[in-house]
Chain A
């Protein structure tokens, strides 16, 4: 029943894909121009949150109707990342306010958690993640990582190792937090008690690991902006693996996301496609941008659907992955 509902929501045929060889069905939702969508996240009730960076707002797309509502986040707001916490709130990294901003859809209350002044006023806040205790961790691309203690509202910030570059961040199933540095090409393991970071160097330097996502086992998958390959690190074994795109083509991988089937999604700016890699079968499928220069900067989803925010096209493309809901 829920599969039928999703198909109706997307307005596309629900096809049970035998593998990843086929291009899955998609539907693209145009957004208002000039809002500059950056990131997306699933919202309660089947809605989709998205950051309208140029407008300083949180967008709320209803895929059933294609209509959008907007939440004003504050003066000088320029939101970048957004996630949904387990209690159903949106958490936004807001570079313009140098703050983490939460939005509670039940009360429509917006709360601004400013970073400490000693961060210099602008950290270029990037991406949030929720740890196993419900606290919100974040990266600032000027070389910061930090935490919002959701019980006290206290915001802590620490200088990341090696300086600028702190970018994608993720939480593994054990509740721990990892991030990557784009400028300095490392994987960082955060000590949640102290904020200290253990630097783990990839085997190939300067690949520009941009974003990171955990699979269901706690293995970490990274998109290489400079190296153009998918990086895979297993904390349990300490082993690295690099996976090139089909044909060893030139690639600039921006976003990475691991879906509920442990299929790894990466967006490639060089050919305007998003690739899905199944580690079990070592096979790829791909989804083209809805138009040229889709410029997909982040990927997220729910069981049965993957969301592709097309910053270059002012649109969200929803991919129906056909998995069990």
Chain B
């Protein structure tokens, strides 16, 4: 969950305090931190991110999120396929091995089956 900071339109000062950060207790949300910088699960995402929105990604056709510019490699790989939990689990362990030419870098996590399962549960949650 993002922690919002109110920022003025032109020039504002954001308070810099490490106390602002809170620990993340939900293992799924913690695992999602490996994805967070490039992906959102919020249905009303406003930021322009490097990766497609993952809200409802489970069982969604691959490379099919409206408004996102997928690589040719991902479009070719995804033709006729959907993102099953198993496929997502494999992809995040070796994106370029599964889809050579994808723009996605291999994240350093989730690091084990338990973390991957927590991430998939997190992605399944309706929002």
**Chain A, 269-281, contact with B by CB distance < 8 Å: what is the 0/1 string?**
1000000000000
Task: Check B37 against A142 for contact (C-beta < 8 Å).
Answer: yes
| Given the contacts A122-B109, A158-B20, A163 and B2 also touching, CB distance less than 8 Å | yes
| A116–B5 CA distance with the chains assembled, in angstroms | 20
Which residues of A have CB within 8 Å of B16?
Answer: 158-159, 191, 194-197
Which residues of A have CB within 8 Å of B9?
Answer: 201
What are 20 A-to-B residue pairs whose CB atoms are below 8 Å? A96-B109, A116-B18, A119-B18, A119-B21, A120-B23, A122-B108, A124-B36, A156-B18, A157-B21, A159-B3, A159-B20, A161-B12, A164-B49, A183-B37, A185-B48, A191-B16, A196-B13, A197-B14, A197-B16, A199-B8
Q: Is A200 an interface residue (CB 8 A)?
A: yes
Q: Is B66 an interface residue (CB 8 A)?
A: no
CB-based A-B contact count at 8 angstroms: 122
Within 8 A of B (CB), among A225-248: 225-226
What is the interface of chain B, defined by CB distance below 8 A to chain A? 2-5, 7-24, 30, 33-34, 36-38, 47-50, 96, 101, 103, 105-106, 108-109, 111
CB distance from B20 to the nearest CB of A (A): 5
Task: Check A165 against B47 for contact (C-beta < 8 Å).
Answer: yes
Picked from A38, A201, A269, the residue with its CB within 8 Å of the CB of B10 is A201
Task: Check A96 against B108 for contact (C-beta < 8 Å).
Answer: yes
Q: Is A316 an interface residue (CB 8 A)?
A: no
CB distance from B120 to the nearest CB of A (A): 18
Task: Check A198 against B108 for contact (C-beta < 8 Å).
Answer: no
Q: Is A81 an interface residue (CB 8 A)?
A: no
Task: Check B105 against A53 for contact (C-beta < 8 Å).
Answer: yes
Interface size class of A (residues with CB under 8 A): 35 or more
**Chain A, 143-178, contact with B by CB distance < 8 Å: what is the 0/1 string?**
100000000000011111111110000000000000
* Closest Cβ neighbor of A77 among chain B residues: B108
Which residues of B have CB within 8 Å of A141?
Answer: 37-38
Q: Is A28 an interface residue (CB 8 A)?
A: no
* Closest Cβ neighbor of A189 among chain B residues: B11
Task: Check A183 against B5 for contact (C-beta < 8 Å).
Answer: no
* Closest Cβ neighbor of B22 among chain A residues: A118
Which residues of B have CB within 8 Å of A198?
Answer: 11-13
Which residues of A have CB within 8 Å of B15?
Answer: 196
